[in-house]
Amino acid sequence: MLRLTLSNRFELLLERLLDRLAGEARSPFAAQQVLVPSTAVRRRIELACADRQGICANVEFSYLAQWLWAQIRQLVDVQDISPFSPALLSWRLFEILGERDFSADQPRLARYLRDADPVMRLDLAQRCAQLIEHYITYRPQWLAAWSEGRRAGIAGLGAGHDDDEAWQAALWRRITAELGTRRQHPAAAFFQRIERLGADAPARAGLPASASIFCLSSLPPLYLDILRQLSQWIDIQVYALNPCREYWFEIVDRKRLGYLAARQQDAHHEVGNALLAAWGKQTQAHIDLLFAADGQIVEDDSVFLPAGGAHLLARVQNSILDLEELAPGSLRLAADDRSIEVHVCHSLSRELEVLHDQLLAMFASSEPPPPDQIVVVVPDLKGAAPLIDAVFGTVPAERRIPYTITGLPQTRVNPVARVLDTLLALAGSRHAASTVFELLQQPAVAARFALAADDLDRIHGCLRQAGIRWGLDAKSRSSLGLPASEDHSFADGMHRLFLAYALGDEAIARNTVVAGRIAAGHPEGGDAATLGRCWSFLQALEELRDDWSQARDASAWQRALSAALDRFTLAGDEWVDDLRSMHAAINELHGNMLRGGARSPLPLAVVHSALNALLDDPGRGGVPSGALTFASLSSLRSLPYRVVCV
């Protein structure tokens, strides 16, 4: 049975879910299945379950696409991860796009690939993989037509775009031919086999008795169709947020209504509530799709609760709930009504300064909200993070607000990830002195080469005295197509520093030429040991440059990246979790390459780009914290907060 529970409040849906989990009669060895849209929603459910039951145990959380594939895999011999997953499919496409025989038959594609380097080819493969996933989910009829060698009949596609459809269709046929899925989708084979199992199909197929789908913002038609068929054997409960308890699936915004009226197509359409019509289109389509198949889904235990109070925010929320329009000037606001505020600022930094001041005033009020009930959503979190730290992280202690930035890329928050990212960037670069020294300053690297803060200060002074600017040695410069000169390179500078130490007397060192070099600086005493450790670091960089200059296959890159982490970072208690996370990411990338069919040797730049894409995947999302939380617009979506700042 497929059941649907609707509410305008996350908290009410969560209560219904917890009631269901607590009341299910099941085997104590069978995990309860909960499908969530994000890590943040999963964390909120776990905490709420633990708060009610004392513990959250034997609840298995998954994402919908992965869960459906796992059920199909119970009966159909397929990979543990869908080969159409963008993480895998992008590598298969990378190989196909690299074949001249394939691209030669597609003039538009060939023109782009003719001047594309491997990184550009990988970027195109990743974009195509995302696009094909969307086609599978939302436009399966196009793919079916392409598989049969027909045009898809795409409405609105101009004649100038015929070539685009042609090469995409050819690409799809090549993918299905390689994967052996041209004739039948694995989901179709799954339902054919489960029907043959009879009445005890769920037990024989290893399917769970029930599953709960919680707060997904959208449900693609393909997945909904699979769920409808699966609900013949599994009890599936869908929990969805619905801001309006009235029938609002035919409302349109004023602009759209005017367009329809001009063509006499506005019958049965109205605006209803302007905010809901303009901003609720995705939710409207989502819920309308759920009700599209009459009789296949049953609405059960829905609950709607009006907002309390007479302030502006409550009136706006209740007007949306009841599908009413608030006429301009119809509300009289109280003098202290601050439920909705708009601040006009000239820059992002000024926005953050005003935000900080407003939050301080809020905390000084008679009923201050706790910091963990405030969320600040930012369109470009990565770009805003330095400004957030500058405004919120540098104020005096008496004005400090506890905050956290969640959902940032791993290369920003994981120090070991930053080290590996810098190493990958350095290997094919000019090795600028500033960048090399910044790498050496990373705590995990400095600890690996036994360098304390005082040692780093001495090294910085010595490098400056030696006039080191860029390049490890002459080989570094010749690899960039430049004259093989060592002037102002690390090799030249370190030799001059060691020469100064060997000569001892500063006056003698300044006036003595040895092997064409003049000594630099005046290192003495313990400086020798410090410079020796710096030399070891530079030698490791040279070895890495030489080792990574050659293209290699996926397994060789896995070993090389893991070895680089061991060579340049200390596996101390402070970084053990960060190291474990990075090794897991390297292994995941390796697995994606192998499952995706990456066969050709890959250059360093491609591996660097792929690893960064994996580490910085926004799908990993953010999680709530016990402090004021800064997040991207989508990562904490659906979660309720007392104060939301945009």
Share of the chain above pLDDT 90, in %: 38
Q: Are 39 and 639 in contact (CB under 8 A)?
A: no
Are residues 234 and 355 located together in one domain of the fold?
A: no
Share of the chain above pLDDT 70, in %: 89
Are residues 114 and 228 located together in one domain of the fold?
A: no
Rounded to a whole number, what is the distance in angstroms from the first to the last CA of the chain? Answer: 40
pTM of the model: 0.84
Are residues 478 and 601 located together in one domain of the fold?
A: yes
Distances (CA, A) of 364 to 189, 334, 370: 63, 20, 11
Are residues 64 and 207 located together in one domain of the fold?
A: yes
| pLDDT attached to residue 492 | 80
- Looking up residue 26, the CATH number of its domain turns out to be 3.40.50.10930
R_g (Cα) of the chain, nearest Å = 30
Query: How is residue 419 annotated by DSSP?
Result: H
- Looking up residue 355, the CATH number of its domain turns out to be 3.40.50.300
Query: Helix %, strand %, coil % for the chain, to 5?
Result: 55, 10, 35
Q: Quick one: which of 124, 51, 62 has its CA closest to 94?
A: 124
| pLDDT attached to residue 45 | 94
Asked whether residue 362 is domain-assigned, the answer is yes
Asked whether residue 249 is domain-assigned, the answer is no
- Structure confidence by residue, pLDDT tens digits, 417-460: 999 999 999 988 888 889 999 999 999 999 999 889 988 988 88
- Structure confidence by residue, pLDDT tens digits, 222-234: 888 888 888 888 8
| pLDDT attached to residue 296 | 76
Are residues 117 and 137 located together in one domain of the fold?
A: yes
| pLDDT attached to residue 26 | 74
Last residue of a domain, one of 153, 177, 201: 177
| pLDDT attached to residue 152 | 76
**Contact partners, residue 66, CB within 8 Å, separation at least 6:** 81, 82
Token pair, residue 494, equals: 């370190």
Asked whether residue 568 is domain-assigned, the answer is yes
Q: How confident is the model at residue 115 (pLDDT cuts 50, 70, 90)?
A: confident
Are residues 439 and 563 located together in one domain of the fold?
A: yes
Asked whether residue 255 is domain-assigned, the answer is no
Are residues 170 and 41 located together in one domain of the fold?
A: no
Token pair, residue 627, equals: 């402090």
Last residue of a domain, one of 152, 177, 202: 177
Are residues 476 and 588 located together in one domain of the fold?
A: yes
Per-residue pLDDT, averaged over 497-522, amounts to: 66
Per-residue pLDDT, averaged over 378-401, amounts to: 91
Q: Is 379 exposed, middle or buried (0-12, 13-18, 19+ CB in 10 A)?
A: exposed
| pLDDT attached to residue 588 | 94
Q: Are 419 and 444 in contact (CB under 8 A)?
A: yes
Are residues 473 and 398 located together in one domain of the fold?
A: no
Which long-range contacts (C-beta less than 8 Å, at least 24 apart) are formed by 493-502?
493/463, 493/466, 493/467, 493/468, 493/520, 494/466, 494/531, 494/534, 494/535, 494/538, 496/466, 496/520, 496/521, 497/462, 497/465, 497/466, 497/521, 497/523, 497/531, 498/531, 501/527, 501/528, 501/531
**Structural domain that includes position 425:** 412-618
Q: How crowded is the C-beta side of 419, counted as CA atoms within 13 Å?
A: 27
- Looking up residue 455, the CATH number of its domain turns out to be 1.10.486.10
Q: Quick one: which of 542, 541, 490 has its CA closest to 520?
A: 490
Asked whether residue 332 is domain-assigned, the answer is no
Asked whether residue 131 is domain-assigned, the answer is yes
Are residues 526 and 434 located together in one domain of the fold?
A: yes
Question: How many structural domains comprise the chain?
Answer: 4
Asked whether residue 306 is domain-assigned, the answer is no
- Looking up residue 111, the CATH number of its domain turns out to be 1.10.10.160
| pLDDT attached to residue 584 | 93
Q: Are 1 and 236 in contact (CB under 8 A)?
A: yes
User: Each residue of 281-319: b (16+ CB within 10 Å) or e?
Assistant: eebbebbeebeeeeebbeeebbebeebeeebbeebbbbb
Are residues 398 and 377 located together in one domain of the fold?
A: yes
| pLDDT attached to residue 411 | 84
What is the C-alpha separation between 626 and 403, in angstroms, rounded? 8
Mean model confidence pLDDT for the chain? 85
Residue 199 has pLDDT above 70, yes or no: no
Asked whether residue 268 is domain-assigned, the answer is no
Q: Is 577 exposed, middle or buried (0-12, 13-18, 19+ CB in 10 A)?
A: exposed
Are residues 611 and 631 located together in one domain of the fold?
A: no
What is the C-alpha separation between 440 and 568, in angstroms, rounded? 9
- Structure confidence by residue, pLDDT tens digits, 117-167: 999 999 999 999 999 999 888 888 888 888 888 887 777 666 667 778 888
Type of residue found at 56? C
